Amino acid sequence: MEEVTLKSRAVVFALCVGVVAFILALLATSHGVIDRATITIALIPAIVCGAMSWASAERALSSTAAAIDLAIARLADAAEGDLDSPIPPEIADRVPQLASAMTSLFRQFDSDIEGIRRTARVDLVTGLPNRGHFREAAEAALAAPDMPGAALFFIDLDRFKAVNDTLGHARGDMLLAAVAGRLRVVAEEAVAASAATPLIGRLAGDEFTLLLPGIRETMAAARVGRSIQRALAEPFAIDGTAVEVGGSVGIALAPQHGATLGELMRAADLAMYQAKAEGRGRVAHFTDTIAAAVAERARLDEELRRALARDEFTLVFQPQIGARDGAVVAVEALLRWQHPEDGPRLPATFIRRAEESGMIVEIGDWVIARVAETLARWGADGTGQRLAVNISQRELDHALFFRRLHHGMRAAHAPAALLELEISESLAMRCSREVLDALALLRGDGATISIDNFGTGYSNLARLRELPIDRIKLDRSVIEHIATRAEARTIAHAVISLVHGLGCEAVAEGIESDAQANVLRVIGCDVLQGYAVAPPMDEPTLITWARGQRQRLAV
Ligand code: C2E
Ligand code: MG
């Protein structure tokens, strides 16, 4: 009878062990431990089962049954997470093999759990705390009651992408590990005189952070910043290759620039962007000027959103005339903002920010709708004037740009043949094959494509030849001195010959004097645009001006 009870308990026990093993294995797998540890975790309960079966067969004693009951209870506790309580001594007394199997099971799992914890907190490439761990530790350090103030450094490598692209990801990882090593040295040196513990983290990619408690003066932080900069500017020996990357460093101080880690990270990040904007390999401190620039950007974003909603934008029109006959050949649409407090604002005061924030896509939609509506009217009333519109990179990069343009033109019944798109030289050099194909299609529909501000970018002649373009607009800087300097004239002449060689029309913009216009006529420029011809004007003024121009030419 006792033997039967014992055997049935053995079955229950074996089942329990199986369930516990299953739970443990599931836990391990979900934490990414799927290999040796999982197998060990599965094997040890099997040994336990074997020992149990042996015990049940060999020792049909009630004390053994009691020990096994204790083992079941202890395993149930382990399944609840208790790996620390001792294994009851009765188990070792009655079934020593079972006790030792349980001990080694708990020990193994305990070390696996520790491994899992470590893996979840450490960046495997550099061995540094990862973003989550760094945050946790830095928040705790900043919240400490005896916190003496601290400096937070935001570090971004300058040419890491190029290293990854040219030397491959494995060497990129080696470089990151070497960078971490140098940052550790700088951090240890920085706090050597104090009892503070530096905290270094890898946030993502090539971004690192360093929190130095006790460094609260700008000068002291600047010294550390320069040490970081010097450490990263030295070439790294990666797999036998000397690699130069350099780093940009942004610094924020606690409590001056923020009491919480979130505030400090934002401030140091902004300072780091300032360092990059100043030319990389630099150190920048978070300052009131940066704070003011950020607030100004936020204000401008908000005002631009309001401007769209309240219809504060308008277009003005600047004519282009044939260099030989003076006839109006096209008109360029230029954006203006009727600011409720500041009055009329030029694109220079807002276009760049709109491009950065992406708001240019919505503003561009408004411009296209206005241009399409104007073209439809000009098509219908016989004005028949071609209208050029400026398109920026963010607009062109938008996947739906061409579809929206087609839709806008079709919805307004605007003739495509009267539309001209102006894209800058640098954009023309960079844009994708899909964009080139879409431009070619548009051109096939009768639209004109021109390259704007030619002479300000780095043109590739082979690329220029394959672009689907009709006109090239010489930047104002190319023609600025042609009336007074022979070399400027020679260069402008050569550029115009190049434009003609590409089978395009040469347009000069920014002409401010008759003398410039005369030189341009002599050196073969086809079309003239600038204050010396006519300034940008509103639509009724343009219509009147164009009528006057026709009359002037007729006499
Ligand atoms: P852009 O396309 O090169 O336009 C020519 C700029 O030169 C215009 O400035 C025009 O007013 C100005 N200009 C014309 N004649 C003369 C002259 O004789 N001398 C001088 N110094 N300047 C002259 P604006 O209107 O301030 O536009 C500046 C830039 O803003 C444009 O340069 C264009 O890149 C951008 N932009 C204007 N409207 C739009 C738009 O609707 N969408 C986009 N994405 N960009 C626009
Ligand atoms: Mg333009």
Based on the domain organization, do 332 and 478 belong to the same domain?
A: yes
Mean pLDDT of 146-170: 92
- Measured in Å, residue 332 CA sits from the centre of ligand 2 at 7
Tell me the angle at which helices 401-411 and 360-380 cross, rounded to the nearest 10 degrees.
Answer: 30
Does residue 380's CB lie within 6 angstroms of at least one atom of ligand 1?
no
Based on the domain organization, do 52 and 91 belong to the same domain?
A: yes
Does residue 455's CB lie within 6 angstroms of at least one atom of ligand 1?
no
Does residue 530's CB lie within 6 angstroms of at least one atom of ligand 1?
yes
Q: Is the pLDDT of residue 555 over 90?
A: no
Q: Which of 69, 93, 117 is the last residue of a domain?
A: 117
Q: Which of 117, 143, 168 is the last residue of a domain?
A: 117
Based on the domain organization, do 459 and 543 belong to the same domain?
A: yes
Strand residue runs (E) in 134-175:
150-157
Query: Is 297 contained in some domain?
Result: no
Based on the domain organization, do 391 and 330 belong to the same domain?
A: yes
What's the chain's length in residues? 555
- CA–CA distance, 138 with 146 (Å, rounded to integer): 14
* Residue with CA closest to ligand 1 atom 46: 390
Q: What is the pLDDT of residues 25-74, one digit of tens each?
A: 555 555 544 455 554 555 555 555 555 555 555 555 578 888 888 888 88
Partners of residue 339 on adjacent β-strands? 343
Mean pLDDT of 213-235: 95
- CA–CA distance, 5 with 8 (Å, rounded to integer): 5
Q: What is the pLDDT of residues 266-318, one digit of tens each?
A: 999 999 999 998 888 899 999 999 989 889 999 999 999 999 999 999 999 99
* Residue with CA closest to ligand 1 atom 7: 510
**What is the pLDDT at residue 33?**
47
Based on the domain organization, do 68 and 204 belong to the same domain?
A: no
What CATH number is given to the structural domain containing 437?
Answer: 3.20.20.450
**What is the pLDDT at residue 428?**
92
Please give the angle made by the CA atoms of 93, 99 and 101, to the nearest 5 degrees. Answer: 150
Based on the domain organization, do 467 and 318 belong to the same domain?
A: yes
Q: What is the pLDDT of residues 360-378, one digit of tens each?
A: 999 999 999 999 999 999 9
**What is the pLDDT at residue 1?**
41
- Contact present, 474 and 508 (Cβ < 8 Å): yes
In the structure, what pLDDT confidence band is assigned to residue 20 with cuts at 50, 70 and 90? low
Structure tokens at 136: 């946790």
Q: Is the pLDDT of residue 4 over 50?
A: no
Partners of residue 301 on adjacent β-strands? none
What CATH number is given to the structural domain containing 267?
Answer: 3.30.70.270
**What is the pLDDT at residue 40?**
52
Based on the domain organization, do 547 and 436 belong to the same domain?
A: yes
Based on the domain organization, do 331 and 459 belong to the same domain?
A: yes
- Contact present, 429 and 457 (Cβ < 8 Å): yes
Q: Which of 91, 117, 143 is the last residue of a domain?
A: 117
**What is the pLDDT at residue 544?**
96
Atom of ligand 1 nearest to the CA of 347: 30
The best mutation among 320, 370, 390 to test binding of ligand 1, ranked by most ligand atoms within 8 Å of the C-beta, falls on 390
Query: Is 300 contained in some domain?
Result: no
**What is the pLDDT at residue 543?**
95
- Measured in Å, residue 507 CA sits from the centre of ligand 1 at 14
The best mutation among 334, 346, 350, 420 to test binding of ligand 1, ranked by most ligand atoms within 8 Å of the C-beta, falls on 334
Nearest ligand to residue 346 Cα: 1
Q: Is the pLDDT of residue 11 over 80?
A: no
Between residues 82 and 352, the one the model is more confident about? 352
0.85 exceeded by the pTM? no
Nearest ligand to residue 511 Cα: 1
Query: Is 41 contained in some domain?
Result: yes
In the structure, what pLDDT confidence band is assigned to residue 126 with cuts at 50, 70 and 90? very high
- Measured in Å, residue 457 CA sits from the centre of ligand 1 at 17
Structure tokens at 477: 């800087």
Plot region of 72 (φ>0 → left; ψ -120 to 50 → alpha; else → beta): alpha
Does residue 169's CB lie within 6 angstroms of at least one atom of ligand 1?
no
- The sheet carrying 199-204 orders its strands as 199-204, 207-213, 150-157, 247-254, 283-285
Domain count of the chain? 3
Does residue 319's CB lie within 6 angstroms of at least one atom of ligand 1?
no
* Residue with CA closest to ligand 1 atom 2: 390
In the structure, what pLDDT confidence band is assigned to residue 3 with cuts at 50, 70 and 90? very low
- CA–CA distance, 233 with 229 (Å, rounded to integer): 6
**What is the pLDDT at residue 19?**
54
Between residues 25 and 213, the one the model is more confident about? 213
* Residue with CA closest to ligand 1 atom 15: 530
Q: Is the pLDDT of residue 460 over 50?
A: yes
Q: What is the pLDDT of residues 516-549, one digit of tens each?
A: 999 999 999 999 999 999 999 999 999 999 999 9
Structure tokens at 217: 């003066």
* Residue with CA closest to ligand 1 atom 34: 390
Structure tokens at 147: 């916190």
Does residue 130's CB lie within 6 angstroms of at least one atom of ligand 1?
no
Helix (H, G, I), strand (E, B) or coil at 79: helix
Beta pairing, strands 207-213 & 471-474: unpaired
Nearest ligand to residue 451 Cα: 2
Beta pairing, strands 313-322 & 527-528: antiparallel
Based on the domain organization, do 395 and 542 belong to the same domain?
A: yes
- Measured in Å, residue 51 CA sits from the centre of ligand 2 at 86
Does residue 453's CB lie within 6 angstroms of at least one atom of ligand 1?
yes
- Contact present, 183 and 210 (Cβ < 8 Å): yes
78: how many CB neighbours lie within 10 A of its CB? Answer: 20
Based on the domain organization, do 346 and 429 belong to the same domain?
A: yes
- Measured in Å, residue 289 CA sits from the centre of ligand 1 at 29
My answer on whether omega of the bond before 344 falls inside 30° of 0, hence cis, is: no
Mean pLDDT of 130-152: 93
Query: Is 506 contained in some domain?
Result: yes
Between residues 19 and 100, the one the model is more confident about? 100
- Measured in Å, residue 334 CA sits from the centre of ligand 1 at 6
Nearest to 497 by CA among 525, 473, 521, 478: 525
Alpha helices in 318-454 (DSSP H): 351-357, 360-380, 393-397, 401-411, 425-430, 433-444
Helix (H, G, I), strand (E, B) or coil at 510: coil
Query: Is 455 contained in some domain?
Result: yes
- CA–CA distance, 333 with 538 (Å, rounded to integer): 10
Does residue 198's CB lie within 6 angstroms of at least one atom of ligand 1?
no
Atom of ligand 1 nearest to the CA of 529: 15
The one-letter amino acid code at 548 reads G
**What is the pLDDT at residue 34?**
47
**What is the pLDDT at residue 54?**
53
- CA–CA distance, 88 with 541 (Å, rounded to integer): 99
Based on the domain organization, do 263 and 320 belong to the same domain?
A: no
Q: Supply the range of the domain harboring residue 260.
A: 131-286
**Helices and strands of the chain, counted as H and E runs:** 22, 16
Helix (H, G, I), strand (E, B) or coil at 236: strand
Q: Which of 59-63, 177-181, 462-466, 512-516 has the lowest mean pLDDT?
A: 59-63
Nearest ligand to residue 427 Cα: 1
Atom of ligand 1 nearest to the CA of 316: 25
Atom of ligand 1 nearest to the CA of 532: 18
Query: Is 272 contained in some domain?
Result: yes
CB burial of residue 400 (10 Å; 0-12, 13-18, 19+) = exposed
Mean pLDDT of 210-214: 95
Query: Is 188 contained in some domain?
Result: yes
Atom of ligand 1 nearest to the CA of 453: 3
Ranges 57-71, 133-147, 321-335, most confident = 321-335
Query: Is 512 contained in some domain?
Result: yes
181: how many CB neighbours lie within 10 A of its CB? Answer: 14
Nearest to 33 by CA among 139, 126, 96, 108: 108
In the structure, what pLDDT confidence band is assigned to residue 80 with cuts at 50, 70 and 90? confident
- Measured in Å, residue 404 CA sits from the centre of ligand 1 at 23
Nearest ligand to residue 533 Cα: 1
* Residue with CA closest to ligand 1 atom 13: 510
Between residues 441 and 24, the one the model is more confident about? 441
**What is the pLDDT at residue 14?**
57
Between residues 505 and 459, the one the model is more confident about? 505
Does residue 512's CB lie within 6 angstroms of at least one atom of ligand 1?
yes
Mean pLDDT of 460-473: 93
Based on the domain organization, do 272 and 404 belong to the same domain?
A: no
Strand residue runs (E) in 205-351:
207-213, 236-238, 241-243, 247-254, 283-285, 313-322, 328-339, 343-345
